[in-house]
Amino acid sequence: MTYTEGRAISSSQRTALPSHAFLYKAAAVSVLLLSGSLTAEAGTCDPAKCVFPACVCPSVSPPKGLDPKTVPQFFTLTFDDAIQSQTVTPVAQIMSPHKNPSGCPIKATWFAQIMYSDFALIQQWYAAGNEVADHTMTHPSNPPAAEIIGNRKAINAFSGIPFAKLNGFRAPNLNYSKGTFDTLAQEKFLYDSSTNAVTENAYWPYTLDFGLANDCWTGICNEAIAAPGMWEIPMHAIMNGAEPYSMDPQLFAPAGTIAGLLKDNFNRHYQGTRQPFGIYLHPVHIKEAGAMYNEFFTWAAAQKDVWFVTNQQLLEWMKNPVPASELAAQEYMKCNMPAVGKEICNGLDDTKAGAIDKGLLEVCNFPDGPWSTCYGCPKTKPTPEDPVPERVVAAGTAGARTPVAASCAMEWWDPVAAQCLCSNSTCAFTDIATTTTPVTGTPTPKPGNGNGNAAIQLTGSWASMGLVAAVAAGLAQLL
Ligand SMILES: *[C@@H]1O[C@H](CO)[C@@H](O)[C@H](O)[C@H]1NC(C)=O
Ligand SMILES: *[C@@H]1O[C@H](CO)[C@@H](O)[C@H](O)[C@H]1NC(C)=O
Ligand SMILES: [Zn+2]
């Protein structure tokens, strides 16, 4: 059962962008507005009232007046829609060959819908150090609140991911309204990433204290969106001259043309004011473009100070920006994997047996496709009206799976034994960063890293610990 968000949707996303004629006009207006200062702040954001770090005005320049040449070039790779074996496979193929400057595997954000997703694969994507964000339950345009709220509830219940980590949102078909932002603000989301940025409004992430400054041609910037402290992470279109390609750029021109455009657009950011550079993909559309993306990621990763990050990592940096030279040392950039020592249902291949959560997943059968979970099958499929239906095996009865205890991290929680295998800083970790430079001197054990640097010698690559094994495990469970 494959869920395909077809070309029709991609083209509606494109028509959600200004027409060429409009863009030319917009460009002319921007030139006038920007002629005084290249770092002019947009819209009604008043820098005197918008005080860092609680509030950040839309700006093409890095926060705190930092010199662009000293800041990291962030690369935000995102995926949308269902997380299922068919979509995880092409994603693993374009991610697993690449590393950040720290030696850690590159990270990405998946805006996951519930329909056709496998909750165990959502958990595995998160356990591998990536971000899961909200893309509603059934993918409606201009989604009702229940679609947004139900997504987090279901993922929390059936994938074990804490609410606090499920705090980003992208509107299906990039179709949102002021009401969408009202819901996000009420539900205390950290950020939205549904708006488009073209060359003239290619802003760094900003807070919504003074409303939106992207997609203004729709009138949305005049709406009184009041979401103080909530971030907007604009989606930077790949520009082909004046024509923006918002998502899946490979669908709109031959591979050779796109490969050139990706480099030109990346360079505009990298040699300019280093706004995060993004590639936003639907995994079902990657297909043979995988080779082109792998080549482009290899090229980009070879440029100095380029980091592929999740949206949450990007916002950690925004709140406390450090020079590129200090990024690797930040806690939120580490790639420590829990060393549990026995196979528990936590989304990881704890015993390095080549299969994640082997024999521990429950397979739940519903008419639109079976999915698996560590946290007990529900009696009915999750819906916006009832995102967390009663379990087949009721809590407290034999064989029931237990939700993650509040004091335990999901990676350490055994839902079968209802036991937390570690709840303090003495937990053993494996640092899976690989370096090409030999480590010299005496390895210094790090706090919270029971294995110290010795673990580096033992590392598995991401491919052996992460998604490739996840796919095998997921498929094995489904067959
Ligand atoms: C957004 O969704 C609404 C509700 O489904 C629809 O009426 C509207 O046409 C959509 N807008 C765009 C630009 O597709
Ligand atoms: C940390 O947790 C482990 C096992 O969960 C326990 O044996 C140990 O005593 C704890 N240490 C501290 C300092 O609380
Ligand atoms: Zn979508």
Q: For tokens 């006038």, what's the residue?
A: 32
The values of phi and psi at residue 277, to 5°, are -105, 135
pLDDT in tens, 9-22: 233 333 334 333 23
Q: Report whether pLDDT(220) > 70.
A: yes
Q: Does residue 138 have its Cβ closer than 6 Å to ligand 1?
A: no
User: What is the average pLDDT across 141-153?
Assistant: 98
Residues forming a β-bridge with 79: 110, 281
Q: Report whether pLDDT(116) > 90.
A: yes
Task: Look up residue 227 and give its DSSP letter.
Answer: E
Burial class (CB in 10 A: 0-12, 13-18, 19+), 395: exposed
Model's pTM, two decimal places? 0.85
CA distance 286 to 299: 18
CA distance 343 to 378: 24
Contact 3, 82 (CB under 8 A): yes
pLDDT in tens, 254-265: 999 999 999 999
pLDDT in tens, 300-334: 999 999 999 999 999 999 999 999 999 999 999 99
Q: Report whether pLDDT(31) > 50.
A: no
Contact 233, 313 (CB under 8 A): no
- The pLDDT value given to residue 143: 98
Ligand 1 center to residue 311 CA distance, Å?
A: 26
Ranking 22-31, 358-367, 414-423 by mean pLDDT, the lowest is 22-31
Neighbouring residues of 462: CB distance < 8 A, sequence distance ≥ 6: 95, 96, 105, 128, 432
User: What is the average pLDDT across 367-392?
Assistant: 96
Pocket test for ligand 2, best of 421, 425, 426, 429 (most atoms within 8 A of CB): 426
Q: What is the CATH number of domain 11-329?
A: 3.20.20.370
Domain boundaries, the chain: 11-329
User: What is the average pLDDT across 272-297?
Assistant: 97
Contact 63, 54 (CB under 8 A): no
Q: Report whether pLDDT(460) > 70.
A: no
Contact 405, 162 (CB under 8 A): no
- The pLDDT value given to residue 433: 86
Q: Report whether pLDDT(435) > 90.
A: no
pLDDT in tens, 33-66: 333 333 334 568 989 999 999 999 999 999 999 9
- The pLDDT value given to residue 464: 31
Contact 161, 154 (CB under 8 A): no
Ligand 2 center to residue 405 CA distance, Å?
A: 16
Peptide bond into 53 cis (omega under 30): yes
Ligand 2 center to residue 426 CA distance, Å?
A: 7
CA distance 314 to 320: 10
- The pLDDT value given to residue 176: 97
- The pLDDT value given to residue 432: 86
Counting ligands in written order, which one lies closest to the CA of residue 16?
A: 1
Nearest to 111 by CA among 135, 92, 91: 135
Q: How many H helices and E strands in the chain?
A: 12, 19
- The pLDDT value given to residue 192: 98
User: What is the average pLDDT across 56-83?
Assistant: 97
Banded model confidence at residue 106, pLDDT cuts 50, 70, 90: very high
- The pLDDT value given to residue 436: 42
Banded model confidence at residue 475, pLDDT cuts 50, 70, 90: very low
pLDDT in tens, 173-192: 999 999 999 999 999 999 99
User: What is the average pLDDT across 128-145?
Assistant: 98
- The pLDDT value given to residue 43: 65
